[in-house]
Amino acid sequence: MLWLLLQVWISCLWMGRSEVVTSFASCPQFFYQNTPPNNTLLPQSPAWICQYYNKSYYYATLYNITGRIPVYSAYIYQPGTGNRSQTWMVEPQLMGPTYPMEMLTESTLTTYYNVTLQQISQNQAVNSDYTNLTGLNRGHLNPNGHHNTNDSRMATFTLTNIVPQNITLNGGAWNDYEQKTMKNKTQNCINKTYVITGAVPGNRSVSNGRVNVPSHIWSSACCRTNTTMKAWAAIALNNQNRVTLLNLGQLEANLTQLYGKGNVSLFHKDCPRK
C-alpha cells in the first residue's frame, strides 16, 4: 500500500514537470498508425510539443525555436461549433524542464512562476509579436473549428500553433478549405481523419526579426473509408488568396523541394500518395 502511494506521489510530481523530449512519445495517438512525418522536416532547434491543456493532450506540434513558428501541428479532425477564445497561451516547457508542461497565459506565468516576459519570449513567439502586423494575422495550423469541445478548441489558442498568415488568405481561401473542402472530403471517412498542417519558412520576418513569415501554408489528411484508405492535400502561397488542392504524393514532392532536406514523408505508408 505504501509502495503504491509512493508511486502515485512520484507520478504526480512527474506529471507537473515537462520532460526534455526528442520525440512525440507522449502523444503518438495524433498520428495515423502512431507514425509522425520523417525527419526531413526537422529544424535545427526543434521542440516536440505534446499540446497539453486542462489535464489532457489535444494534439502534437513540431516547433521551430529559431523561427519561432511551428513546422506543423498534427491532430484528429472532429469539427464542431463553440466559442472562440479571446486569450492566447504560450508553452512554459520551452523555457526549460522545470516549468509546467501545460500551456498557460503569459500573465499566469509572470504572476505565479516568477518569470519575466523576456524569459518567456526567448524560445517562442509571444502576444506582442503579433499585435502590430500589417496584412498578416494569427493563422492557426490546427484550427479551433476542427474541434468540438471547449477544452479542445481552447487548446488551439497557443502561439506555438500559430504563424503570421496573410489576413485575406486566413479569412478567405484557407478558411474555405478548412470549413468546406474538409467537410466535403471527409464525407466518406469512417473512424478518424488524421490531419497534419504546416508552414514552409519564408525569407521574411516580423517583430524585429523574431518571427518568421512562412512562404507557404500546407495541409494533408488521411482516413479510412468503407472500402479503402484515402488521402488528400492542399497548399497555399502566403501572399495570395488561393489554395491549390493536390494529392498527398504531390504535396510531399513539393515540400521535398521547398525544404530541401531530402524526401519528405508526412504519413504512414498506408495513406495513398495518389
Which residues are at the interface with ligand NAG (CB under 6 A)?
A: 38-41, 43, 54, 64, 66-67, 71, 82-83, 114, 132, 134-136, 150-151, 166, 168-169, 184, 188, 190-191, 201, 212, 224, 226, 235, 237, 239-241, 244, 254, 257, 262-263, 265
Q: Which residues contact 63 (CB under 8 A, 6 or more apart)?
A: 46, 47, 48, 49, 69, 70, 71, 91, 94, 124, 160
The single-letter DSSP state of residue 264 is -
Are 171 and 248 contacting, i.e. CB atoms less than 8 angstroms apart? no
Least distance CB 30 / ligand NAG (angstroms): 13
Least distance CB 3 / ligand NAG (angstroms): 28
Grid coordinates standing for 227? 472500402
Q: Which residue's CB is nearer to ligand NAG, number 4 or number 59?
A: 59
Q: Which residue's CB is nearer to ligand NAG, number 4 or number 226?
A: 226
Are 173 and 186 contacting, i.e. CB atoms less than 8 angstroms apart? no
Are 202 and 244 contacting, i.e. CB atoms less than 8 angstroms apart? no
Least distance CB 212 / ligand NAG (angstroms): 4
Least distance CB 7 / ligand NAG (angstroms): 23
Q: Which residue's CB is nearer to ligand NAG, number 6 or number 150?
A: 150
Q: Which residue's CB is nearer to ligand NAG, number 6 or number 54?
A: 54
> If we measure between CA atoms, which residue out of 242, 244, 198, 239 comes closest to residue 215?
239
Q: Which residue's CB is nearer to ligand NAG, number 1 or number 194?
A: 194
Q: Alpha helix locations (H) across 137-267?
A: 150-154, 167-171, 173-176, 182-185, 248-259
Closest residue to bound ligand NAG by CB: 67
Q: Which residue's CB is nearer to ligand NAG, number 50 or number 69?
A: 69
Are 89 and 157 contacting, i.e. CB atoms less than 8 angstroms apart? yes
Tell me how crowded residue 173 is: count the other CB atoms within 10 A of its CB: 19
Least distance CB 67 / ligand NAG (angstroms): 3
> If we measure between CA atoms, which residue out of 150, 137, 155 comes closest to residue 88?
155
Least distance CB 270 / ligand NAG (angstroms): 12
